[in-house]
Amino acid sequence: MKNKYVEIYHNLVKDIQKGEYAAGGTLPSEHELCARFETSRETIRKALNLLSQNGYIQKVRGKGSVVLDRDKFEFPVSGLTSFKELSDRLGQSFQTHVHELTLVKEAKVCRQLNCQEGSYLWKVVRSREIGGERIILDKDYLRQDLVPDLTKDIAQTSLYHYIENELGLDISFAKKEIVVEPVTAEDEEFLDLNGHDQVVVIRSYVYLGDTTAFQFTESRHRPDKFQFVDFARRTKV
Amino acid sequence: MKNKYVEIYHNLVKDIQKGEYAAGGTLPSEHELCARFETSRETIRKALNLLSQNGYIQKVRGKGSVVLDRDKFEFPVSGLTSFKELSDRLGQSFQTHVHELTLVKEAKVCRQLNCQEGSYLWKVVRSREIGGERIILDKDYLRQDLVPDLTKDIAQTSLYHYIENELGLDISFAKKEIVVEPVTAEDEEFLDLNGHDQVVVIRSYVYLGDTTAFQFTESRHRPDKFQFVDFARRTKV
DNA sequence: GATTATAATTTGTATATACATGTTTTGCAA
DNA sequence: TTGCAAAACATGTATATACAAATTATAATC
């Protein structure tokens, strides 16, 4: 947290989550926030823009920054969230089973990730158990030239934490697709399907800050346990 | 288009879509764009931020604004898009059937929309036919105090166009949820389910710029025809 | 007291400057 | 030619000012 406006953003998020500012009410004016954080108005406005983009406030001209009601609608899976972050927030007991951790050559995935056809990729297959049921199957492909070493222990805890904090890679954005597909033999092997014959599939291409594509993930969910929640601003045509 | 930075944004989007700037390459530098659009750097940066937020570019410090490849991954249903906008973009033949257009009192929906319990809501039920199959069932509830008049003709063409362009309401943001649920009798009545016993349900709460909740929508899709595509930036913890 | 006009408040846009930080190019020296 | 240092270039952050536009509070008038 070295940037002033990011720090102010986190401060305000914390205040809103604590209930300091009630939903429907307004934040202090930009002028007041300038005084409180001892900074310029443009810096405050950058922080407020972050709040606005993430669905915490709606700025209304002449009125102020109206605090939005996030509780009415829970936000467990918005943005780019890893399974561990999700479980932490839900506070449920969960378990991760690592079924495969190998170096493979898959031309099709390589093409998608814009890397050399012959280069190696880490393939990680994990199932997620929540409340005693294995309901999510995650298949990850990572570029081995960017993530040289990977252990079962890392796969068991959190890939993202290792990649960001240990390797220092800057995970920046992702393109994702959600579709519904028939179950595969793999799904039947690793999941407690409970009679379901279809799964919700989230395919993600994950990129670093320098636009390098470095990961492809296929996350397969049992339909009755799947939920995706999103906050979207309308971009005027 | 009265705002300079919004206009510049649209200009650059058009250029990117025309292929003026190839994916993987960079846009002209901020300095050059200042000269071309005869404006200040901050104004250019506001336009570039819009491009970044919408997945057109990735800014890399010291390098420039790298153009992202949107074609590799189609973007039909990102953000807040109405069915008509979607169909227009896909260019497929489609048809809308209006099954119901009535004024109702539904306390549960009223509470969700923060309006008087006894007030009237427009209820609009429509099915969407693409390629000869009815695959989407849309149920809309709109506050009658905000949308006084509604005709079958409007429901048949585009609600959003009418609301934004004719009524001048400022649709600003939405909270949406995607889940999978068993089919209902209504689904079976209005959709060609083709043997499917589950549907993908998108529930949306739509808000105006002044944070007024004014619409609740439930969009029910046949699973094999459903696709949701999203661009997400990672917000650092 | 109610309505209207005015002023104060609040956010939106546009512009300008200074410096920091990362990348690329250039040029000098070995 | 190669290698390294310096300069040039590109984006990031912080600050400042001026004015526009919408809302709210205040004062004045009938």
Categorize the per-residue pLDDT at B119 as very low, low, confident or very high, splitting at 50, 70 and 90. Answer: confident
Look at residue B130 and tell me whether its pLDDT is greater than 90.
no
Which pLDDT score, from 0 to 100, does residue A75 have? 41
Distance CA A169, CA B90 (A): 37
Percent of all residues in chain B with a pLDDT value above 70, rounded to a whole number: 89
**Where along chain B do its domains lie?**
4-67, 83-225
Model pLDDT, residue A78: 41
Tell me what the pLDDT averaged over chain B comes to. Answer: 88
Query: If you average pLDDT over residues A34-46, what whole number do you get?
Result: 97
pLDDT digits (tens, 9 = 90+) for A117-154: 778 999 999 999 987 889 999 999 999 989 888 999 99
The CATH-assigned architecture of domain A4-67 is Orthogonal Bundle (1.10)
Q: Are B152 and A48 in contact (CB under 8 A)?
A: no
**Above 50 in pLDDT, residue A113?**
yes
- Which strand (E) or helix (H) includes residue B122? strand B121-130
Show residues of chain B in contact with A236, CB under 8 Å. Answer: 6
In this complex, the answer to whether residue B42 has its CB under 7 A from any atom of chain D, a nucleic strand, is yes
Query: How do residues A50-76 score in pLDDT, each as one tens digit?
Result: 999 999 999 999 999 999 987 655 543
CB-closest option in B72, B226, B229 to A180: B226
Do A33 and A9 contact (CB within 8 A), yes or no?
no
pLDDT at A2 over 50: yes
Residue B213 CA: distances (Å) to CA of B32, B113, B175: 42, 5, 10
**A residues 200-219 near B, CB within 8 Å?**
200, 205, 207, 209-211
pLDDT at B80 over 50: no
Confidence at B136, pLDDT banded by 50, 70, 90: very high
Average pLDDT over residues A200-227: 91
Residue A40: nearest nucleotide (C-alpha to C1') = D15
Q: What number of helices (H) and strands (E) belong to chain B? A: 8, 9
Q: What is the pLDDT of residue B161?
A: 87
Instruction: Give me the pLDDT at residue A194, please.
Output: 94
Q: Which nucleotides of C are covered by protein (CB under 7 A)?
A: 9-17, 21-24
Fold for domain B83-225? Chorismate lyase (3.40.1410)
Q: Among A3-12, A173-182, B17-26, B87-96, whose mean pLDDT is lowest?
A: B87-96
Supply the pLDDT for residue A79. Answer: 43
Chain D bases closer than 7 angstroms to a protein Cβ: 9-17, 21-24
Question: What share of chain A has pLDDT > 90, as a percent?
Answer: 62
- CB proximity A3–strand D (7 Å threshold): yes
| Three-state SS annotation for chain A | CCCHHHHHHHHHHHHHHHCCCCCCCECCCHHHHHHHHCCCHHHHHHHHHHHHHCCCEEEECCCEEEECCCCCCCCCCCCCCCHHHHHHHHCCCEEEEEEEEEEECCHHHHHHCCCCCCCCEEEEEEEEEECCEEEEEEEEEEECCCCCCCCHHHHHHCHHHHHHHHCCCCEEEEEEEEEEEECCHHHHHHCCCCCCCEEEEEEEEEEECCCCEEEEEEEEECHHHCCEEEEEECCCC
Give the one of A85, A178, A210 whose C-beta lies nearest to B178's C-beta: A178
Amino acid identity for residue A201 in this structure: V
The pLDDT of residue B237 is 55
Residue % of chain A over a pLDDT of 70: 89
Tell me: pLDDT of B155 over 90. yes
Note the pLDDT tens digit of each residue in A76-105: 334 444 555 555 556 667 889 999 999 999
Is residue B199 scored above 90 in pLDDT?
A: yes
> Nearest nucleotide to B40 by CA–C1' distance?
C15
Average pLDDT over residues B67-86: 58
Residue B116 has pLDDT above 90, yes or no: no
Contacts of A52 in chain B (CB under 8 A): none
pLDDT over 50 (residue A204): yes
| Identical fold between B4-67 and B83-225 | no
Give the Cα separation of A11 and B100 in Å (integer): 48
- The answer to whether A4 CB sits below 7 Å from nucleic acid chain D is yes
| Local confidence band at B76 (pLDDT 50, 70, 90 cut-offs) | very low
Distances (CA, A) of A39 to A33, A46, A134, B82: 8, 12, 50, 41
B109 — contact with chain A (CB < 8 Å)?
no
Place B78 in a pLDDT band, splitting at 50, 70 and 90.
Answer: very low
Residue B83 predicted with pLDDT over 70: no
Q: What is the structure's pLDDT at A70?
A: 77
Q: What is the DSSP letter of B13?
A: H
* pTM for the structure as a whole: 0.89
